[in-house]
Structure 1
């Protein structure tokens, strides 16, 4: 999300200042299918889960997802700002132990760990290092023991790094529409995008569900227990209904029965209107709605009054020419080892390839930037027809 040096285009809208450094408000990752666009988001999600979901004992394995059964260590490094402090967090580990872990705040080391050798630790943790397991993140342990910087970093992972999962839209997200002021903004947003929705109703549905501890006991038990032995706890679900306007009057539609495009747009609207200064990740950003709507959303994302950052993957090539800087346009492409490489238009040495007065989509389709889908139409047809049909012809 760092800006390209000496690049002035859309500086007042598509970038934001943070800790005296200019950063991008959004990046779009293009590329062929199965070239690793989604894995960029998956990697960030995996790091988030490692931080916020600790191991509970020394026998539990740390989460790994290595490529091609690779047995080498997994490593991450992420730099971000929280509470006006620039943090740099490094983690190297494997399934059984943390190999290396470093946290810096504004360039100053907060802790440094090499396996079970704690080179640098905050004073309040100095007497507790023997309590840290080899498969336990020091970051989690530190925040649990009230270390200020570790708490800020943990908070960023929990609250500020957000995956907008449009594959699993949870109706519970819509409970914020019970706030009348937010609901008015939300409806205005939908109507501005040419959706004929004039009202939203969120209904609470109370029900009793089996207690989690009972379910675990049930799974482990050899004998069946009667339903009378089940312990139930109260739970609240939310049903969402949208009122549509038509020439024949109004009608109500249950949210799950809306078109996929409408559901995705409503879901995105919740996140965009209810967050500020967050990092939001959206896979297949353009999915299920019209190009003009995707372009309008992208313009809104890059507007100077919008304060979130967005990491977006997309197959919609027309967005290449939708008011983006060269450093906002990224490509994912697999090398000859099957590993994904990421690069932006700004990375190209040839200045002619970076000029903003040319059609980026046209260049991409011509193969100038690589990262495109190489389809052998002749072989596809041969597979469709089959050997016997080809011989007859």
Structure 2
């Protein structure tokens, strides 16, 4: 399970920013999940939502998580063709190109907490480290610093075959990638944590691939749950049919006379196809206990659909494996329920806004200390917590009228 993610000098993030799933002391967590870590109970949120104005950095946060994942999985093989390192540093400050890009995650695997991170320069890996806390105390498994005479250090000598892995590690490759892909008994489980987590779902770019994922799942044990979720979504879907040996899918819809009729896939609504495409990744994440990233959760979905996705992860019986959801959205109605309760605790709500230099700042809504009965949706839209567009009512229309008047003068 993911505890924290820290990033700096990546996309719109200039200074170090942190996203956390950890319930802080004093926060009242109605959806917290207790996890045993080295004999100590730690309470984590099953989901966090990222809110903010357009172009404030919401998608960049998910992109930064994926960039870290891709670096771990691909730096050994795919970066070999680069003279330097493919990175996306902050581009609104010329000095940022001279600084390293920083990534770090804290996560729990088999009741052990790990901290893994690295710093990427333009031409080499500047630093890399892995710490473990099997008994609550830090163990440094390896520490890499490109500025030292001895670049790699292995206190405690916990990593076997380390000399061989060091020889295979290029200046522009991560040591974890090399060791993990070469079956290190100690480091491969850390490497594969990245493979099994941080899956990204975007609203349109990979929808066809996700449709294929859901269609493929219909041939296995998830079929019944997929059909149930299609029926309960009030889309008029009565059943699902696999055709062409499972290579195509067709939905059957309820008719006015109580009968059912098929609809060609290309004639299904965009909303229906978007919901169908989400089901495969959601159920896979729930079954695997993975961290799922969903950009623009509200895209093409009714607000109640988006709320139901969040509820799936927050239901301890449905989410028995401890999956986690990180989503971005513009839909502030998911902060509450039609009955006036809160769907998300303040600690689950993270806000992004840009400072005067164009850099993204990330902070939890709980930092604003909202009242226990405060309407989070109304207060957010009123600007009490920040992270809303600096736009007054009617400002766009007034600007257009002024432009037209200036042209007519």
TM bin (shorter chain): 0.7 to 0.9
How big is the alpha-carbon RMSD for the aligned residues of Structure 1 and Structure 2?
Answer: 2.3
Q: Could you tell me how far apart the structure 2 residues matched to 1:379 and 1:164 are?
A: 34
Contact preservation (8 Å) 1:283, 1:313: yes
Q: Could you tell me how far apart the structure 2 residues matched to 1:388 and 1:82 are?
A: 61
Q: Could you tell me how far apart the structure 2 residues matched to 1:240 and 1:15 are?
A: 37
1:388/1:38 CA distance change after superposition, 3 Å? closer
**Which of 223, 235, 243 is 1:195 aligned to?**
235
Contact preservation (8 Å) 1:244, 1:253: yes
1:18/1:95 CA distance change after superposition, 3 Å? farther
Q: Which residue of 2 aligns with 1:374?
A: 390
Q: Which residue of 2 aligns with 1:213?
A: none
Q: Could you tell me how far apart the structure 2 residues matched to 1:293 and 1:40 are?
A: 23
Per-residue CA deviations over 1:261-303 (Å, capped at 9, x if unaligned) read: 2122122222222333110110111221222222233223211
The SS at the match of 1:50 is helix
Q: Which residue of 1 aligns with 2:7?
A: none
1:157/1:203 CA distance change after superposition, 3 Å? farther
1:246/1:145 CA distance change after superposition, 3 Å? same
Unaligned runs of 5+ in 2: 1-20, 337-341
Contact preservation (8 Å) 2:165, 2:178: no
Deviation at 1:391, TM superposition (A): 6.9
Contact preservation (8 Å) 1:83, 1:152: no
Q: Which residue of 1 aligns with 2:3?
A: none
1:382/1:189 CA distance change after superposition, 3 Å? closer
Q: Could you tell me how far apart the structure 1 residues matched to 2:265 and 2:290 are?
A: 26
Contact preservation (8 Å) 1:14, 1:303: no
**Which of 302, 309, 313 is 2:324 aligned to?**
309
Q: Could you tell me how far apart the structure 2 residues matched to 1:330 and 1:297 are?
A: 18
1:147 aligns to 2:167 (yes or no): no
Q: Which residue of 2 aligns with 1:291?
A: 303
Q: Which residue of 2 aligns with 1:78?
A: 105
**Which of 373, 376, 379 is 1:357 aligned to?**
373
Deviation at 1:199, TM superposition (A): 2.0
Per-residue CA deviations over 1:296-325 (Å, capped at 9, x if unaligned) read: 332232112223110011111111224221
The SS at the match of 1:67 is coil
1:63 aligns to 2:86 (yes or no): yes
Deviation at 1:36, TM superposition (A): 0.4
Q: Could you tell me how far apart the structure 2 residues matched to 1:272 and 1:63 are?
A: 30
Deviation at 1:204, TM superposition (A): 5.0
So what's the TM-score if we normalise by structure 1? Answer: 0.83
| Structure possessing the higher radius of gyration over alpha carbons | 1
Aligned residues: 355
Q: Could you tell me how far apart the structure 2 residues matched to 1:358 and 1:375 are?
A: 24
Per-residue CA deviations over 1:175-207 (Å, capped at 9, x if unaligned) read: 12012x4212211122122222222223457xx
So what's the TM-score if we normalise by structure 2? Answer: 0.80
Per-residue CA deviations over 1:325-378 (Å, capped at 9, x if unaligned) read: 110111101112211111112223xxxx42221101111122111111112566
